[in-house]
Structures are given as C-alpha cells and as structure tokens.
Structure 1
Amino acid sequence: MINEKLPKIWYGGDYNPEQWDAETWAEDARMFKLAGIDVATINVFSWALIQPSEEEYDFSALDATIDRLYKDGVYICLATATGAHPAWMAKRYPDVLRVDKQGRKRKFGGRHNSCPNSPTYRKYAARLAAKLAERYKDHPGLLIWHVSNEYGGYCYCDNCAAAFRVWLKRRYGSLDAVNRAWNTRFWGHTFYDFDEIVPPSELSEEWGHNRTNFQGISLDYRRFQSESLLDCYKIEYDELKKVTPNVPVTTNLMGFYPELDYFEWAKHMDVVSWDNYPSIDTPVSFTAMTHDLMRGLKSGQPFMLMEQTPSQQNWQAYNALKRPGVMRLWSYQAVARGADTVMFFQLRRSIGACEKYHGAVIEHVGHEHTRVFRECAEVGRELGVLGDAILDARVESKAAIVYDWENRWAIELSSGPSVALNYPEEVHKYYEALFHMNVQTDMISVEEALDKYSLVIAPVMYMIKPGFADKVEAFVNRGGTFVTTFFSGIVNEIDLVTCGGYPGELRKVLGIWAEEIDALLPGQTNKIVMNGAVGALNGEYDGSILCDLIHLEGAEAIATYGEDFYKGMPAVTVNKYGEGEAWYVATSPDKAFMQGFLKNLCDKAGIRPILDTPEGLEATVRTKDGKRILFLLNHNKTASVADMGESVWTDALTGETRRGAVEVPAHGVVILTEGDASHV
C-alpha cells in the first residue's frame, strides 16, 4: 500500500486553508468528518507565503495547519509549493522567467512559469524541499510528498539553449553525430560548433502548432525539455529522500498530456498520481484507457487519483455539472482500474481568481445541505466500509496496447501525410473495441516485457526504437498475436527513415512491404472488402485517414481495398511467423470492423471478456490474494442488468449474497467480491 499509516482507500483532496479564516477552518473540520475526508493535499502554491524574501522562511502557518488537520483526523499529502515561484524571485532573478516559443520573455504571473534550467529556480526549489523535509520528517500526519504540481510547458531562453547543447554532447558525443542524426545537409544546416545550435522556436525552425523544418531538432528539444523538467522534480525528490527515505514521493501527472514522457517520469516516482478531468462528452472508454495508462506507467502498480472535480470544472469551453451519481461512478471507475485513492480538487471553493467556479466538496453556500456534498459524503462512507479490501489489488490482463510519447512527438512533427492523424485517437480506436467487450487491457511502454500477454497491439508505431522489432519477433515466434497499422515502421529513434520499404524493421515479422501512403480527405473513405468471412468479420467496411499501398512477402491478404486505383490491393494482412501471427491493418477502420476484428483476435488467443454485459455496463476486475473483486459500472441513464450465472458473489458494500441477474441502477456501481461471505 502507499503508506501503512492509512490502510484504506484515501479520500480527500486539495485544501487551501491559507485563503480562509479560523472560523472557516473549524467549519471545514466539522464538514470533513461528515464527508469521511481523511487526506488533505496542502501547500501546493504557498511558496510566497513560506518564503516572503530571499533569506526569510516562515513555517508557522503551515505548522498550525498540519497540526490542526491531524488533530481532526486528517492526514497530509504535503506539497513542496514549487509550482509557482514568488514575485520577489522574478524581480530579483529574471533568469527564473521563461521565454516562450515566440521568443518573448515572460513577466511574473500565472503558474508553472519557471525556467526548468534556471540555476536560481533549482537552487531555491531544492532548498525549500530540504527545509520542508527536515521540519516535518517526524510528523505523524505526513503520508506522502507531492512535488510541485502538474509539471508542463517548455522554455526557449538562453539558459535552456546552453543546457540543450550540453544535453546534445552527452546524447551524441560529437557534433558530427548530431549533424548525421538531424540530416543537416538538408537546407544547408551543417553545424561546425555547438554554439551555433539554437532552440527550435518560432524564431528558428518551428511555426504554428507542431510544424517544423527539422523534425530531428524539434524531437530532441522535446526530449530535452521533458528531461529538464524531470531533473527539477528529481532535485526535489533527492532532497526529500535524504531526510525521509520511507515517505513516498509523487507528482501529479495529466493523463495523455503531450509534452512530457511519463514512462520516463514514472521511473522516478514512488507512486504514480494523476488528475482526471474528462469533459461531459469524453467517451468513458477514453477515461478508462487513461486510467489504464497511468497504471501501466509502473507495470501495473496501483496509482493515485490525485484530482477530479466533485461536480464541474471551470476551464473547459462548456463546464457542465456532473449529473447525479456520475461523480461516484467515475470515482469507482478509477478504483476499478487501479486507483487506491479518490481525491478532489478542491475541498472548499475559492472565492476569487480563475478557479472560483471550479467545483468543490464544500460549495460557496458553505454548508452540507447540497447535492454535491451529500454525494461526496456517501462515497466517503462507502470507502470506510470497504476499508483495505481493495488496497493493492491488481488488474490482470492478457491483452496490451503499446503507447510511446516519443512516437507521438515524431508523428505530430512528421510534416505529413495527414493533419487528421491523431496518435492517441488511433490508439483509442483499438482500446475502445476491447473496452466494449469488457476485455481488460494494459497500456504499456515499448520497454515492457511482452511475455505475459497473448495479444499485443501497437497502433501507428511510426518510430521503431532499438530492440523493439526483435522483441516483437520473439513474441510472435513463441505464439503471440501482434497487431500494428498503417504508418508504422517508418523511422528509427532519431526520426531518420528506415530505407528498403515500409514498415522497416517490422517488415520481416509482418511479411509485407508498403510502397506508398495515400491521405484521404475529411469524410472520404475507401472500402475494406473481406476476402470471405473471418470470425465475426464479413462483407465491407470503411477505412479512412490513410491507406498504405502494400505488397505481400509471405503474408496473406484477409481484406483488400474496394476503390480507387489501388482497388484489390491488400488492406488487412496476417503473417504466420513461428507459432504466432502478425497482423497489419493498412487503413483506419470504422467501429464495426474494429469490434469484429478484435473479437476475432481475442477468441483465437483465448482471451475471454470479464463478463458479457449490455452496452454501457462496464465490467472490470481487480484481484487480491487470489480472489477477484468485480466492479459493475453503469454509464447508462437507465438501469442495466448483468447476468452472473450460477457463480456466487458478495456485495462488498452491503454484505448481501448475489448471483444470477444483478441490477445496476442508472449511473450506479455494484462492487462484488468472489464467494459467499456467509460461508467464510
């Protein structure tokens, strides 16, 4: 478990008592008890209060807050407050201010506004983390450290330029190697001195969103900035661990956030935490996929749901309320997929600035007689009933989808073939089909071992990193099923094209080579014509976005294109390789194809759904001590019924024995543990 001091699913969230008075604190304490709140994340943006000047530190208010909360039964998720530097620091040391992509030097303001390569920022951030660790190392209320907050944003200042050159020397060893990696003989870009290299801003190589003259330069700058921000995190992590080696450390991630390589970040986090803010129209399957990605960052280790809103957000275009029951439903969706905490932003609504209309457990009305508070209190009561029954339970999957941030950067910078190509959305198309079948799926990195899986899918694997093709070949050879798609195997890890025919290093295992790639206009499709029935697949389907024109080199064409000059060329292929199969889907198919295709592959691989349920009723299992915990999550506006057959389960919240038909109310949740509790 995350910390044995609190052996249950943690319940709470961000709390900003510095914005309130003593009378409000007392009321908060009363209402926290009513809601079952047992963890507060504090000190997230309090650097200016703690350090009013360069040499002055004042921890008195923080001391009082931690003591007061702990006395009232609330444990502490203690942030290091380094997400926004103080105004005096920006005034006295302008090197802490970022330079944006347009070359403009920032003024003080906002948050996440510090240059990650500023010596000043790193010095004072490390010092503050060390002081916090020393001061609170023995406090019984300290559960976990929360470093900074929602890292993100790039900087293009002179400090970053100098650090980028050092990074390049370390990565490539020589300027000749840099020139080769970036193909600088194109457009006369040969560098003769490292000092000639500048960041790829809109003053140099880039323009607009993800548009660049030199993909290699821009790709490396994204790697460098992700590592620079990670270094800032690691500086604080090291200071905290020197003093409190047994207190876990995290920082809150943001799902599919594009700028940081979270697989690399997770290696340096004791536990992954993330902030879940779907829109009202975000597919529930996409949220589920994001939970699975967060779980996959540390090879299946349970994660923290650090933030969600109890009701509405304030920063989206249309900030709809969460309908009755939805907050509870989405909270348990996180738990069902590996979360061992349910936490909110925020516990009490602010009265000013840009988050005053962001939802909270305690609304502006200030009392407990609100729909939102009643729902929060009910979840708090239920988590108390569950106790430690779910803690550390794992999600076991035989199917996996490969996701890679560097691959995403390379695709987005690729300068073609289509602006409609969206890597996370293409990944989601495959995940969604498995989700609707209730097939549990891990989201994994290219570094993850494949041995435990029967089915591995790598959509749009444009960039093939060293060793990945060999790993795939070994996986398929010993009986695994591998799937990849159009625009795969194009470049290596430095974004240079692998010559000899697409899909490059995957050509052998797939048994094909691709000659050209056609980009279809918005709304335009080609036909995927099945060459006879294949499991649940038969007839014709639509393919969109891109169409690879491929030739067979041992593979079999399962389907062909139905239109245009490449009518009759393979659109879907399978290659027998050793004991297994490697599939290639040469276009982006419609949902009907996806559903039949994935069902066919799962059937052949012996992967069974958790449960056959009506549309909109999600079934997920976590396993602990050999026993299954089944979550039934109804995303429908009406009740749904799951047929449990003759198996016997116990309702984890009521203790009732359940078998046969189990009704789940609209937007409701049923949690069942394996076996009859009355016989235990």
Structure 2
Amino acid sequence: MTKEYVTDERRLLHGGDYNPEQWKDYPEVLEQDIELMKKSGVNTVSVGMFSWASLEPKEGVYDFEWLDQVFDRMNSIGGKVILATPSGARPAWMAKKYPEVLRVDSLRRKQLYGARHNHCFTSPYYRSKTQEINHKLAERYQNHPALLVWHISNEFGGECHCDLCQEAFRGWLKTRYNNSLEKINQAWWGPFWSHTITDWNQIESPSPIGENLVHGMNLDWKRFVTDQTIDFYKNEIVPLREVTPDIPITTNFMSDNPEFIPFRGLDYSKFAKEVDVISWDAYPAWHNDYEETYELASKVAFINDSFKSMKQKPWLLMESTPSLVNWHQYNKPKRPNMHYLSSMQILAHGSDSNLYFQWRKSRGASEKFHGAVVDHDGSAENRVFKEVSQVGATMDELSAKIVGTQRKSEVGLLYDWESDWALEDAQGFGLTTKHYPQTLQKHYQAFWEKDIPVDVITKENTFEDYRLLVVPMLYLMSEETIQRLNNFVANGGTLVSSYITGLVNERDLTYLGGWKKELQEIFGIEPLETDTYYPGDSNQIVYADQTYTVKDYATVIEVKNADILARYTSDFYAGTAAVTSNEYKKGTAYYIGARANEAFNRDFYNQLIEDLDLKPLLKVEHNIGVSVQGREEADQTSIVFIMNFTEEKQIVNIIEKAQDSFTGEEVTGEITLQPYEVKVVDKII
C-alpha cells in the first residue's frame, strides 16, 4: 500500500456501516439515504461485511448489481466506499453443505448455523471460498473511483476446537518447539500432576472439563489462536494484494465491554503488523451509574492511544454509535452534546475518521433498536440526526488541519497481552483483584488529567523513543525484555514499575533464585513477598508527608541500593519501604510496591512530571474532568481540543497564546465550558 493518507483528498472520513442489501425491496429508502447523507455531511460508507448471502445467494451464483449501485451512488455525491469482505457471516447454504465451516466450542460441540463470527479459521473450504469471493470483489471494483479501503471480515475473535484446529495446534507447537516433545514438557512443566506428553496426538486444546492447570499450554493455546486468526486474515487478503495493491487494508479491532479495557481475545500487537491502518470499534457506556464520565473518558483515551501507538500514525474509528447500543445491560442514549464531545475526543487522540454503526436502523432482527444516524422515522429533524450533522460540518472544517497529523509523546506505558493472559490464568494473588488492564488505565489517568500525551505501547515498540517508561504489573517478562529495560535505564531513561512484576518468563515458568539479578540491579531492591488483602483489608503508606490508602496488594521489599520514598504504616512490615527510587547508571528506576489509591497516583506522577519537565501541548489550567489533547503538524503547529467531561460548567484558563480554530479569534485567558462542551483552538507559535 503506497498511499500517504487513507483519504486521497486529505479529508476526515464521516459516515459508517451501511446495509443496503436489507432494503433492496424499498427503492425509495435507498434514494432517501443519499439525500440524507448529503444533509448529514456523510462522505464514506462501509458496506458488505455481512452480505455474503446477498452477494452469492446460491453456490456459484453471484449478484453484484445492488453493490454496483452503492458504489455509483456514493461516487455521484463525491463519497467513498470502505468495502468489507463478507467472511464474518456465512450463508445458510454453505453451513448446510459444508459443515466443516462451523465452529466447535471448547466442550467439543459443533455450533449450529446462525449468529455470526462463528466460523472455523482452519477450514480449507472456508479459506478457499473467502479467497474466491474476495477475488471477484477485487476484480469488479478495482478501478472504481469510490473504492477507498478494504475492510477484512468483522471484529475477529473467538476460537474453534474442531479436529482441524486440533491438528493445526499440534503443527504450530511442532514449529515452536522444533518438533520436540521434550521441549514442550519442559515448557509446560509436564511432570506436574502427571501431565507429561509422550505422543503428539495426546495434545488437545484447553477445555473447561477439568481444571486447565497446565498454564504453559493455556498460554500457548492463546498464542496459537492469535496466530491462526492472523493466518486466516492473511489468506483472505491474498487476492486483494494481487488485484488492488494500492488500496489500504484494515480490519476492525475492539475493546472488552462493559469494563472498557483492551480486548483480551487476540494479541493486537501482533495483528497490527499485518494491517495498513489500524481501525477499531468504540462503544463506551456513557452516563453509566458506576463511574464518573471523566473516568470513562480516560479509559477511552487509553485505548485510543494504544491503537495510535501500534503503528505510530493516524488510525480510523470504524464503528461507534451516535446514540445508543442494544447490547449493554442498560442501553442509555447519549445525552445532548455528548456525541459531539466523544467525536472530538476521537479526533484529538489521532483518528482520521468518525464512522458509525449504523447508518440506518434495521427494520427487523437483533439490531432494530441499535442506534443509528437515521431512525425508523427516516427524519432529518430528530436530535440524533442533527447532532451527527453538526459533527459532519465540524469535521469538514477541520480536515485540512488534522488529516495525517500525529500525537507526539515522551511517555510510554507498556501493555502486554501475553502477560495479561498468564497473570489472569495464575492461581495466586487475589483471583478477582488482579485487574492488570484496569491498573494500567489508572496509571494512564494520572497523565491524562495533566494533559501529558502518553503512548500505550507494547514490548514490540522501541523503548528509546521515550524519556519515561511506565511498566506496572508486568508479570510475564522475558530475559530479552529485562535486558531492554536495563539498557533503557542505563542510557538515561526513567522507568516506573510495580508489584507483581517480572515473576515468570515467556513460558510462564518462575525465575529460579527469586527476582532476577538484573532487575535487582536496576531497581536497587529485592521484592521478598506479596501480601494479598481481602476486600475488607487495607494499609497505608506515607509519601511526601501525606498518607494514602493501600488496597489489594503490598510488596514486602528488601532495600539494597535504592532510596525509600514511601513506607508502610501497618502490619508486620510497618516502617519498611513501599515506594523506592534508584539511580542506575545514567537513569532512574522507581518501584511502587503497593496498590495505592488514585490520590497517590496523582501526586506521585505529578512530581515525576515536574521533575522531568514534561509539558502538555497547550498549557491550560483546569479542574479534574477537563481534558486538553491535540495533534501536531510537522512544522510544530498544533490543533488542540479542550474538552469538558463533566456535567457542570468549568472555567479554564488558557495560559499560552491560542486562537479559535473556526473564527480565528484569540482565546487566551479564562473561558467557560458548558457541560460536555468542546473548544477547538490553534496554538499560536
């Protein structure tokens, strides 16, 4: 893929998931769609992801005329098409004739036809058919001016345990362990409970029948699922690369809901390497009753920045809702102005699009009450349509300033899928209080509240791109990662880590002899034991003459060379170190031994921000709940979004020179933001 920008015209993409195949018997609706798209500022639609039965109603019988009309209609209004491959849901004739395409669950039960995302990634027939239909799509639309992006399948996830997948798993293991059962038994600690493997056919995928206590196998199975999913994806794109080499390719990533943490089913750090542009589907439960709006906004920002950081370039929001969803436990519509605010947040954190699911509400089936731009009334006068139109108009004005620009950061926060899998599987600590991704989001929030840009990186990223690395709870840590962290600090970097870090290697085997000597040298300490608290337990630490509450975990630390920054106040380790810092060669390493409250995170990181002289893109004084984020051009000009994620008026003070991005009027000094209001400004250099 050779395009510098996803959009040829450097235009922000506004639109979303369009399902005209559901409306082929309603030509007046399809005509109305085009008029409404023009009114709402829609310039891009994504089509085809669940259209296989319409594209190939019988085996070998194809119908592309309805799709031709979509392309031509979009082209007539200057719009673009993101064309999806239809593998996310196979037609009924295929499931009936070729049952191997249907997934088998972990209890070894063949799933019946229905739903979606339940196909076998290993099935030779399904792989052949996806290539066949994709080749026909590529040949038909390769020269159409409306074709913009290929969208592969939809929200990859899940796993299959059929015989084909069992054999593929064994083949994957043979490659990983050089065809050696001895190496597998070493990696999986085979003698434990007589789990030694003596023949390849004895290996099967994990099942809930039994206790699944071979953690090394569980970890390898999750790795295999990621690799097999990617392999299926790579099989899909072969004809697209051959026929349309200049059309970028993506697939839509996800988050885990309702907690709104990174999706745990696949290792996206691996998958990101295979797509030309990152895209993802964001469905936060705004206005819920269990967290403040700004806390959820911080979680959204965390995941935005993780996808931005994977390829270090702008990404696409492929799906969101302009109003509500139909699959949360309680499906509450966005309040007035929230859609505009959440859309601007997406742009502020690096997206070159704001796309919706869905354009028009389905008339029947499970998504008839899922939010959409066009409701069942077909009206341009309802609140949601008007708010979408407002977003479209704003995006049109901002396009020239934003498309292709970056968000630069001096702070990297490391998230690791394999470590998350291994820690979640570990039978130790608090089985329900590990909260690895949630903990990282809390560390991130301390920077977000101070408007300091953060890259949420993986171990694949280059550590030396950052001045500060924050690496909490990295339970699984290979010797290679340890050495890279050593080099980072030795060469002048600042590192922050925490309890439950560096306990096992990449095979989920503990390090013999206690904490690795290299880690002891970096941090100047040795963690001796981890105290796990019951929900009613707590402790306190004293840091900078302030007292903070500790819940869940406290590490008992032996100090070797480090300075003690905080001490425990209670229990048998009262008075001992809870937080330390250590000068190691040219850099500094901090160790946070306890899970302290948010007040500690704020105060600790605020001091670090001051010590390292980390600066926001635009200096603005404000209360918690207001976020200031932005993007920079190569010439260092900046566009900044000042966003109020509270239900109250907020007075903010813009310290540096800035002007309104739309009127050019200077806005330096105090301004008032209404609830959910956004002010978009240009920083004056």
Distance 1:66 1:499 in 2: 62
Corresponding residue for residue 475 of structure 2: 462
Corresponding residue for residue 637 of structure 1: 647
Q: 1:539 to 1:638 in 2, by over 3 A?
A: closer
Spell out, residue by residue over 1:328-369, the C-alpha distance to the aligned partner (whole angstroms, 9 max, x if none).
100110100000001100011111111111111111111111
Q: Which amino acid is 1:660 matched to?
A: G
Distance 1:581 1:496 in 2: 28
Distance 2:128 2:12 in 1: 36
Corresponding residue for residue 214 of structure 2: 214
Corresponding residue for residue 226 of structure 2: 226
Distance 2:406 2:399 in 1: 16
1:213-612 matches, cutoff 5 A: 213-255=213-255, 256-280=262-286, 281=288, 283-298=296-311, 300-419=312-431, 420-502=433-515, 505-530=518-543, 533=544, 538-610=545-617, 611=619, 612=621
Q: Are 2:16 and 1:9 equivalent residues in the alignment?
A: no
Spell out, residue by residue over 1:238-261, the C-alpha distance to the aligned partner (whole angstroms, 9 max, x if none).
221111111000000003111100
Q: Are 2:622 and 1:613 equivalent residues in the alignment?
A: yes
Spell out, residue by residue over 1:124-173, the C-alpha distance to the aligned partner (whole angstroms, 9 max, x if none).
11111111111110000001000000011111111111000000011111
Distance 2:420 2:482 in 1: 18
Spell out, residue by residue over 1:534-577, the C-alpha distance to the aligned partner (whole angstroms, 9 max, x if none).
xxxx2221111122222112122222222112222321111110
* Cα distance, 1:4 vs structure 2: 4.0
Distance 2:589 2:399 in 1: 45
Corresponding residue for residue 209 of structure 1: none
Distance 2:138 2:678 in 1: 40
* Cα distance, 1:596 vs structure 2: 0.4
Distance 2:585 2:511 in 1: 25
Distance 2:33 2:421 in 1: 44
Spell out, residue by residue over 1:283-309, the C-alpha distance to the aligned partner (whole angstroms, 9 max, x if none).
2111111111111111x2100011110
Alpha carbons 1:2, 1:271 under 8 Å: kept: no
Alpha carbons 2:486, 2:518 under 8 Å: kept: no
Spell out, residue by residue over 1:458-498, the C-alpha distance to the aligned partner (whole angstroms, 9 max, x if none).
11000112421111111111221101111100001111101
* Cα distance, 1:196 vs structure 2: 1.1
Distance 1:157 1:264 in 2: 24
Corresponding residue for residue 79 of structure 1: 84
Distance 2:374 2:562 in 1: 61
* Cα distance, 1:504 vs structure 2: 6.3
Give unpaired runs (5+ residues) of structure 2: 256-261
Q: Which amino acid is 2:595 matched to?
A: S
Alpha carbons 1:491, 1:504 under 8 Å: kept: no
* Cα distance, 1:608 vs structure 2: 2.4
Spell out, residue by residue over 1:489-529, the C-alpha distance to the aligned partner (whole angstroms, 9 max, x if none).
00011111011213665222112212222211113211113
The two structures have a TM-score, normalised by structure 2, of: 0.94
1:640-655 matches, cutoff 5 A: 640-645=650-655, 647-655=656-664
Distance 1:411 1:465 in 2: 14
Alpha carbons 1:541, 1:590 under 8 Å: kept: yes
Spell out, residue by residue over 1:58-83, the C-alpha distance to the aligned partner (whole angstroms, 9 max, x if none).
21221122212222332101001110
Distance 2:159 2:561 in 1: 46
The two structures have a TM-score, normalised by structure 1, of: 0.95
Match of 1:658, SS state, is coil
* Larger deviation, residues 23-32 vs 447-456: 447-456
Match of 2:118, SS state, is coil
Corresponding residue for residue 259 of structure 2: none
1:91-102 matches, cutoff 5 A: 91-102=96-107
* Larger deviation, residues 104-113 vs 68-77: 68-77
Q: 2:668 aligns with which of 651, 659, 664?
A: 659
Distance 2:414 2:376 in 1: 44
Distance 1:326 1:78 in 2: 29
Distance 2:374 2:20 in 1: 13
Q: Which amino acid is 1:347 matched to?
A: W
* Cα distance, 1:53 vs structure 2: 2.5
Match of 2:35, SS state, is helix
Alpha carbons 1:613, 1:619 under 8 Å: kept: no
Corresponding residue for residue 168 of structure 2: 163
Q: Are 2:61 and 1:48 equivalent residues in the alignment?
A: no
Distance 1:598 1:453 in 2: 16
* Cα distance, 1:654 vs structure 2: 2.7
Identity value in percent: 39
Match of 1:388, SS state, is helix
Q: Are 2:125 and 1:125 equivalent residues in the alignment?
A: no
Match of 1:81, SS state, is coil
* Cα distance, 1:649 vs structure 2: 2.2
Q: Which amino acid is 1:360 matched to?
A: A
Match of 1:297, SS state, is helix
Match of 2:418, SS state, is helix
Give unpaired runs (5+ residues) of structure 1: 207-211
* Larger deviation, residues 371-380 vs 553-562: 553-562
Alpha carbons 2:464, 2:488 under 8 Å: kept: yes
Spell out, residue by residue over 1:96-145, the C-alpha distance to the aligned partner (whole angstroms, 9 max, x if none).
11111222110001100101111111111111111111111000000100
* Larger deviation, residues 652-661 vs 194-203: 652-661
Q: Which amino acid is 1:665 matched to?
A: Q
Alpha carbons 1:476, 1:482 under 8 Å: kept: yes
User: After the TM superposition, which parts of structure 1 deviate over 6 Å for at least 4 consecutive aligned residues?
Assistant: none
Alpha carbons 1:2, 1:248 under 8 Å: kept: no
Distance 2:540 2:232 in 1: 50
Q: Which amino acid is 2:236 matched to?
A: E
Alpha carbons 1:103, 1:202 under 8 Å: kept: no
Q: Which amino acid is 2:373 matched to?
A: V
Q: 1:65 aligns with which of 41, 63, 70?
A: 70
Distance 1:671 1:238 in 2: 42
Q: 2:36 aligns with which of 14, 21, 31?
A: 31
* Cα distance, 1:672 vs structure 2: 1.1
Match of 1:358, SS state, is coil
Match of 2:402, SS state, is coil
Q: 1:131 to 1:504 in 2, by over 3 A?
A: farther
Alpha carbons 1:156, 1:201 under 8 Å: kept: no
Distance 2:630 2:392 in 1: 22
Distance 2:537 2:59 in 1: 61
Match of 2:591, SS state, is strand
Q: Are 2:152 and 1:147 equivalent residues in the alignment?
A: yes
Distance 2:671 2:236 in 1: 49
* Cα distance, 1:38 vs structure 2: 0.3
Match of 1:33, SS state, is helix
* Cα distance, 1:17 vs structure 2: 0.9
Distance 1:91 1:505 in 2: 58
Match of 1:657, SS state, is coil
User: What's the C-alpha RMSD, in Å, of the aligned pairs?
Assistant: 1.5
